Amino acid sequence: MDIALGAAVRIRRRTIGMSQEALAEQCGVSFQQIQKYENGANRISFSRLVQISRALRCRVTDLMDVFDGADKETAEDLDLLTRMRTPGALELLTGFEKLPPDVRSSLVSLVRTLSNQQAAQAAKQAVPA
* Between 80 and 14, residue with greater pLDDT: 14
The per-residue DSSP string of 86-98 comes to: STTHHHHHHHHHH
Is it the case that residue 70 has pLDDT exceeding 50? no
Average pLDDT over residues 22-33: 96
**How high is the pLDDT of residue 68?**
62
Q: Which are the contacts of 69, defined by CB distance < 8 A and separation ≥ 6?
A: 77
**How high is the pLDDT of residue 21?**
97
Q: Which are the contacts of 2, defined by CB distance < 8 A and separation ≥ 6?
A: 40, 41, 42, 43, 44
- Judge contact between 13 and 23, C-beta under 8 A: yes
